Amino acid sequence: MLRILLFISVMCPAILSAQNIRIGLFSDKSIKELEGIVGKGTYFVFKDSIQLAKLGSADVLKATYSAGMVRVLVNGVEKGRGKSIRLIQDKQEDFLQLRLISPSAKQRSYEGDFDIEIRKEALNLINNLDMETYLEGVVESEGGPGQKLNYYKAQAVISRTYAMKYWTKHKENGYNLCDRVHCQAYLHHRSATVTIDSAVHQTRGLVMIDQAGDLYPTYFHANCGGQTSEPHYVWNEEIPNLCSFKDTFCIHTQQAKWEKKIPKEQWTKFLVDKYNFPIGDSASNELLNHFKQEQRVAFYLHPIYGIPLRDLREQFKLKSTFFDVDIVGEEVVLHGRGFGHGVGLCQEGAMNMAKKGYTFDQILGYYYPQMKLVDRAVVIYK
């Protein structure tokens, strides 16, 4: 049965003003040199309030780290140096194609303005743009192509809630969030996917809050295998509102089942070395032959042995902790369900719900019990 408790609080949209967010790009790289080419429109290059250059479609901007400064060249001619350089778009849909030269990294396109700053003897590249435009890029990066509108709407609300909840996560880096899965994948600006644009637009400003009025914890994963996980099985801590339940929407989907074979010697060596598993004890040894999870549990075999399933998942690079074990000859055969940590929203289940005609608020209500949708203005200004 759907566990839906839903109140949509509609605030006057007129009070919403556009909010900008700062995203660190290529944030896992120590950038020494990058190149920017205008993909559409015009960009103005500023150092403080001084305009250094105007970039049109054929112009190539190069920014290099040089003795604690950003050195700017346009078409090979130096235009200036500064601690901080700003690239400002002329119109809202103008975008830049950015490529790292040192270290090299594939070209990506982003809308909005850019700041190139100095941090730890390298360039800090920051995309400064409207929150909703950022979300279009995130929904596409996180949700992949070809999904239904209501799935993308659910993803848009999740991503907006996450961005608001972790607004200061990268404060010490000079931006709000990074572009990687560490925060939310943001690998490009929106493409021409009308469905995604509409999903963001139609949920504009909406975030999820819990009963205490706090922004909701938006954990999600690829597939829960038919039962979501207790957060403390994964991270040793409880997360308010999120707890395990049976998910009937994902069990026939793509990543519902997996199998893996591991040499028995490797498996038992790990158990003995790390957990002192009493391999010489015949009763314990017998237990090893067969392990079944009717429902998700936290420990392998029995809690008495103190072997968390999450450790096995990490050690043997398993898709999930939701697996059964049989020993066949010299092999350990794992029959698993699901992909990911299992906490919160199950993406394949949510995609399936959208295909079956459920609305985005029903999908969110199913995976995030007790959530309420509110206009983010309520959260910010309450």
CB nearer to Zn ion: give 47 or 296: 296
- Output the six-digit token pair for 138: 């995130």
Residue 263 CA: distances (Å) to CA of 308, 310, 315, 333, 334: 20, 19, 14, 9, 11
Nearest approach, Cβ of residue 295 and Zn ion (Å) = 14
Q: Apex CA 107: angle with CA 103 and CA 109, to 5°?
A: 130
List, in sequence order, every residue forming a beta bridge with 8; answer none if it has no partner: 373
| C-alpha–C-alpha distance, residues 334 and 12, integer Å | 54
CB nearer to Zn ion: give 64 or 229: 229
Q: What is the spatial order of strands in the sheet that 33-40 belongs to? A: 77-82, 69-74, 60-66, 33-40, 95-102, 105-111
CB nearer to Zn ion: give 209 or 345: 345
Nearest approach, Cβ of residue 284 and Zn ion (Å) = 33
Nearest approach, Cβ of residue 154 and Zn ion (Å) = 14
CB nearer to Zn ion: give 307 or 309: 309
CB nearer to Zn ion: give 129 or 332: 129
| C-alpha–C-alpha distance, residues 47 and 179, integer Å | 25
CB nearer to Zn ion: give 123 or 224: 224
Nearest approach, Cβ of residue 116 and Zn ion (Å) = 19
Strand spans (E) along 75-131: 77-82, 84-89, 95-102, 105-111, 113-119, 122-130
Helix or strand (DSSP H, E) at 312: helix 309-315
CB nearer to Zn ion: give 249 or 300: 249
Nearest approach, Cβ of residue 358 and Zn ion (Å) = 14
Where do contacts with Zn ion occur on this chain (CB under 5 A)?
A: 178, 182-183, 224, 247, 250, 346, 349
DSSP 318-375: -S-S-EEEEEETTEEEEEEE-BS---SEEHHHHHHHHHTT--HHHHHHHHSTT-EEEE
Helix or strand (DSSP H, E) at 299: none
The three-state secondary structure class of 134 is: helix
Nearest approach, Cβ of residue 263 and Zn ion (Å) = 31
Nearest approach, Cβ of residue 235 and Zn ion (Å) = 17
The position carrying tokens 């039962």 is 227
Nearest approach, Cβ of residue 229 and Zn ion (Å) = 10
Sign of CA dihedral 48, 53, 59, 63: negative
CB nearer to Zn ion: give 346 or 374: 346
